[in-house]
Chain A
Amino acid sequence: MSPKVSEHNAHPLSLGRYIVGFLGSITLTLTAYVLVTHGGTSRGVLMGVLAVLAVIQFVVQMVFFLHVGDERKPRWKLLIMWMMLGVILILVGGSIWIMNNLNYRMMDSPQQIQKYLKSQDDL
């Protein structure tokens, strides 16, 4: 029982944590799946619930499979992860924001332009 594989971690790897992570992930995946196939709620609510379930599963797998937060100080891995999450937030959020705004301003399809002109005529 030499803990050499994980000397950078505060705890040695344990079977129990992997089992908890696995069962948690299965439960979250199946919950999300059943909500979509048998869901009666509105699309907006469903989308929010699915996003929350995905984020919970992300945290579960980061903690129980990738052992984030297990390392001794200084916690460089954690720091790099937060940096990455910040970059992703700017990249994805910014892209969606800019492109939706651009779509709105460009009115890309003829149908959209017709619809817009019609609504102007009514005024």
Chain B
Amino acid sequence: MSEVTTLDMPRLEAQATEKTVLGFWAYLMTDCVLFASLFAVYAVLHGNTFGGPGGRELFKLPYVLIETMALLTSSFTCGLAMVAAQKRDRSQVLLWLGITFLLGLTFLGLELSEFHKMAIEGNSWRRSGFLSSYFTLVGTHGLHITFGLIWMAVTSVFMMKRGLTEGTLKRLTLLSLFWHFLDIVWIFIFTIVYLFGGVGI
């Protein structure tokens, strides 16, 4: 950036943001490949229950639907935060980001309590190949959500301290991409793991 300081700054800053967004997009797409590998593992191993319970016995679909709705709504409120950021309305951005955070936290809490319940019933990742692949796939998504929540908290603090600067707006833009991306991954987890599992495939 040092050689360009005397030039047209706003335009160059916008270009730099554009490049950062493109780079982050490339990261998201490679993250997709990570999830695709875990989906492939799940697809191969989901029948190997080793005499243990399958998806049909383990998954409670109404519970998973609530999880799904929480995450979907949080993706929407994250979009509302971006619309507010475009209007340079800091209190609205913080409000929507707060709601997004709480919904994300609800999702994570529901998921962890589901994991906990399965584990104490003796159906942890050690039970069968099916459960190993299930916990790896869904757990990796949960880990992403956890990092997203930490990122969201940090961005909110930055925004409270520094206001809506170019830097915080850039962070917010990347965070919203990340958050929407995680919701898109969840569509496939919901369909392939839970709904297919509920049908008994």
A-to-B contact residues, CB < 8 Å: 1-8, 12-15, 18, 21-22, 25-26, 29, 32-33, 36-37, 39, 43, 46-47, 50-51, 53-54, 57-58, 61-62, 65-66, 76-77, 80-81, 83-84, 87-88, 91-92, 95-96, 99-100
Contact status of A54 and B86, CB under 8 A, knowing A66-B180, A80-B26, A88-B36 = no
The secondary-structure label for the interface of chain B is helix
Residues of B within 8 A of A66 (CB): 177, 180-181, 184
Q: Does B120 contact A (CB under 8 A)?
A: no
Interface residues of B (CB under 8 A from A): 14, 17-18, 21-22, 25-26, 29-30, 32-33, 36-37, 39-41, 43-44, 61, 65, 68-69, 72-73, 75-76, 79-80, 82-83, 85-88, 169, 173, 177, 180-181, 183-184, 187-188, 190-192, 195-196, 198-201
Contacts of B61 in A (CB 8 A): 33, 36-37
Q: Contact at A43–B201, with CB atoms within 8 Å? A: yes
Structural contact, A29 and B32, CB atoms closer than 8 A: no
Contact of A84 with B201 in the complex, beta carbons under 8 Å: no
On chain A, the residues within 8 Å of B86 by CB distance are 1-6, 12-13
Q: Are A50 and B72 in touch, CB under 8 angstroms?
A: no
Question: Known contacts A5-B86, A18-B83: does B68 contact A29 (CB below 8 Å)?
Answer: yes
A-B contact count (CB 8 A): 136
Say yes or no: A14-B187 contact (C-beta < 8 A), given A7-B14, A50-B195, A96-B43. no
Once bound together, how far apart are the Cα atoms of A1 and B87, in whole Å?
Answer: 5
Question: What distance in Å separates the Cβ of A104 from its nearest Cβ neighbour in chain B?
Answer: 13
Q: CA A5 – CA B14 in complex, angstroms?
A: 9
Can you sample 27 A-B contacts with CB below 8 Å? A1-B87, A5-B85, A5-B86, A5-B173, A6-B86, A7-B18, A14-B83, A15-B83, A18-B76, A22-B75, A22-B76, A25-B72, A29-B68, A32-B191, A43-B200, A43-B201, A54-B191, A57-B187, A58-B184, A65-B75, A77-B22, A80-B25, A81-B29, A83-B29, A84-B29, A87-B33, A96-B43
Q: Are B44 and A50 in contact (CB under 8 A)?
A: no
| Contact in complex: B200, A65 (CB < 8 Å) | no
> Are A53 and B88 in touch, CB under 8 angstroms?
no
Q: Which residues of A contact B191 (CB under 8 A)?
A: 32, 50-51, 53-54
Give the CA-CA distance A6 to B79 in the complex, in Å: 13
Q: Which residue of A lies closest to B19 (CB)?
A: A8
Q: How far is the CB of B195 from chain A (nearest CB, A)?
A: 5
Quick check: A58 and B187 within 8 Å, CB to CB? yes
Q: Which of B76, B177, B192 has the most CB of A within 10 A?
A: B76
